[in-house]
Structure 1
């Protein structure tokens, strides 16, 4: 689960007045109501939901992009175009370091992983992994001062045998300031983790960043609908879909001629798909435990599952939905944008434990009442599972103390300098009977647009 995220010198986030990074936190505040909204292990209390508000261009999406940037950097290295991502409000920032850090809970322990990088020069300056203790102490697991070429190990990583292994990997990248050790330690290192169980924390941290943190943008499909292919989910999915008033009463997987799908695909995508199928078919033949392989294809308005069995027979299925009592089936492309958005979001309600979803512009294509209903449903589910949802939104109706806690409401506000600030409603200590949505729209907490006259009226 996410505890905190810190960022400095990235897009509209510069530094705070004290020189520190901007901080977004899922730590619960002093609110006593709605205790079912928090995770509490007697050492730490974490929120399971947070809504981030702000005017257009205030920096809400930049918070999501900052998390995504860190995730992509760990998994695939510095993303294309990174040299231009520093905070440009101050020309000097071009030469300053940018700071990214996740604090997360894994199992019964808490960790801090982060790095500093000069984006314009594509150079990492430092990288660290710490274990955090309930009494606010830090235990070093590893630390790299890349600029000065030093490396230090501690805790379970500082053990005989493993130290030598780790130092070899660290030495290999000692003079390479474009590579992260956490990334290197998760490239073909299965045998290492089998031999040194205590090193598995490196794999667990990486796995949470890669698979436990799910980041979604409004112009991309959130879900590949794989959860609908599981017949055990059908009854639950239908119940939820019906509750959201989409008019859908049922759905089923139906066969589609593979030739029809192939003819609709662009040549390059078709070639890539065939190459992928051929590669995975070879893997299947060499693995007796695999009875078949499946590939899911998803676009904005299409969904297909390709299956290949041991005899290399290829079948294709898609999903169709029925409305009303006549059981007439409709393709995904025939459903409204709002219904498709609901179907995408269902995965969040059906997902397992210990996953953190970040959704930019949750309310896109959704009626305000439906957005409210979705959050209400999520919070009901989250009361029984350890799952987190962080959203950016303009939907002020969510600012309802019957629905949310004060510390679950955050704001991003852009200062006159062009820098973005992140802060929580918890800082305002509002009474629980106050009309928060009205106060927000009136500009009480910042994060709303300030309009000037678009067409000045000329005076005679």
Structure 2
């Protein structure tokens, strides 16, 4: 679970801004709060509203940037690729800062780093509690000892383990996070007590899932449909529930030559699959123009299946099979969100989605959130959205502390504030006030009479 995120001097954010999933004082909709972990619970959903270019997507990009830096790192002798806030010359030489407060594997953590395009100047990981915090490690390039590893060294009793930890820390490049170095240098195999670091890495790798408007989610789940009848039934029930007009889905084996993917790419995938040691992972998923292909290896040959939909034919008991590229954008969007919803309800997932409403009817996006909240009462997962869909702005669906606004100030800097900051009754209809500009997160449209380049029709 994401408890809180802060960002400073990154893209459209100048001074430090906080995005918090900590519940406010409201007592309504208690099922929207997660089960407490060491006294701390988090909200299961949040929706970010704001005008175009207000900074909603930039907040998600900041969260995604940190994830990529942890999991992918930065190549040696290359710059850390990001943009500082560019509309204030005073910030040109100031460092940027990102911090995550998360909940994972029964603990609460604060992990963050200070950085610029050339180096990581600070990095820290704490286990956080209500009364006190435990420092797992700290890094500060201006300190006499760059790394404070006391906690890790005390937990690892063997001399060779202590030496290995110090060796990895000392060898961490200036432009690389210590967490990335731990992940890529086989520290787990050589050190016995680094569970907290591994927990945080696992959260970034397996819990945090960020989806931008053109992304597709987890077609790998669709691959399992071939073997799992229960999963197939669940998928088809969702398609019926969302009134797609689709009666079923299937995987159709097709000829290798008919795949609408460049052969160079297919051959590269085949080579990668052949090189994989475990039979369990010798599969790949590829999408092109709303068509999804599943590629597997059998007896050294590449086998291709296409994900297809089935429709009833009037006067015939047979089904007509459709390529998913023949389905509407909205239907394909729904099919992407079905595995997402299934994973949400499994628990221990944080989905952050930019423009979830794209190609979806307002009633569908409303119901997706309501479905998650009603079926996920005993599940610790989160659904965080950036949206323009004002029909979601109702306290029938969301708590006040789940509604966030992003606005730009006079200097073009993005600011975050919550509906919790406003004195609004629980039964107050807030959508009208939002569209009238009470919460400031709407576009300021100018005087059309000043559009001198348009022809005068009077």
Q: Deviations over 1:434-455 (max 9, x none)?
A: 1111110111111100111244
Deviates more, 1:314-323 or 1:267-276: 267-276
How far off its partner does 1:81 sit?
A: 8.2
Please say if 1:226 is aligned against 2:221.
yes
2:356 to 345, 359, 362: 362
Q: Secondary structure at the match of 1:346?
A: helix
Q: Deviations over 1:64-105 (max 9, x none)?
A: 000011111111224998555100121222211100111111
Contact 2:48–2:56 (CA<8 Å) still a contact in 1? yes
Separation in 2, partners of 1:295, 1:147: 46
1:230-269 C-alpha deviation (Å, 9 max, x unpaired): 32211111111111111112111111112212xx323542
Q: Whole-Å Cα distance in 2 between the matches of residues 382 and 44 of structure 1?
A: 18
Provide the C-alpha distance between the structure 2 equivalents of 1:44 and 1:147, rounded to a whole number of angstroms.
34
Q: CA deviation at 1:172?
A: 1.7
Q: Is the 2:164–2:191 contact (alpha carbons within 8 Å) kept by the matching residues of 1?
A: no
Is structure 2 residue 339 aligned with structure 1 residue 347?
A: yes
1:274-308 per-residue CA deviation (whole Å, 9 max, x = no partner) reads 3313322xx25xxxxx3772111123411111121
Counterpart of 1:18? none
TM-aligned CA distance change 1:77 to 1:195, over 3 Å: closer
TM-score, length-normalised on structure 2? 0.90
Q: Secondary structure at the match of 1:4?
A: strand
Residues 7-36 of structure 1: CA deviation (Å, up to 9, x unaligned): 100001010xxxxx2111111111111111
For structure 2, the 5+ residue unaligned runs are none
> Is 1:336 equivalent to 2:328 in the alignment?
yes
Partners of 1:184 and 1:69 lie apart in 2 by 17
**What is the root-mean-square deviation of aligned Cα atoms in Å?**
2.2
**CA offset digits 1:149-185 (Å, max 9, x no partner):** 5211243553333433211111123xx3111111111
Q: Report Cα offsets for 1:185-226 as digits up to 9, x if no partner.
A: 11141xx43554421222221121122110111022233252
SS in 1 for 2:210: strand
Please state if 1:182 is matched with 2:183.
Answer: no
Tell whether the 8 Å contact from 1:39 to 1:45 is kept in structure 2 after alignment: yes
Alignment of 1:39-50 (within 5 A): 39-41=34-36, 43-50=39-46
Check 1:81–1:371 CA distance in 2 against 1; reply closer, same or farther (3 A cut).
farther
8 Å CA contact retained: 1:5, 1:25? yes
Q: SS of the counterpart of 1:27?
A: coil
Structure 1's consecutive aligned runs of 4 or more residues displaced over 4 angstroms after TM superposition are 78-84, 457-460
Q: Answer whether contact 1:251 1:319 (CA < 8 A) is retained.
A: yes
Partner of 1:29: 24
Asked whether the 8 Å contact 2:254–2:305 carries over to 1, the reply is yes
The 3-state SS of whatever aligns with 2:441 is coil
Offset at residue 384 of structure 1 (A): 2.9
The verdict on how the C-alpha distance between 1:50 and 1:269 changes in structure 2, with shifts beyond 3 A counting, is same
CA distance in 1, matches of 2:18, 2:334: 30
Write out per-residue CA displacement over residues 367-419 of structure 1, whole angstroms, 9 at most, x where no aligned residue: 11111111111212321311111100011111111111111111101111100
Corresponding residue number in structure 2 for 1:293: 282
Counterpart CA distance in 1 for 2:286 and 2:54 is 35
| Count of residues paired in the alignment | 438
1:398 is matched with: 392
Cross-structure match for 1:308: 297
The correspondence for 2:209, drawn from 208, 211, 214, is: 214
TM-score, normalisation: structure 1: 0.90
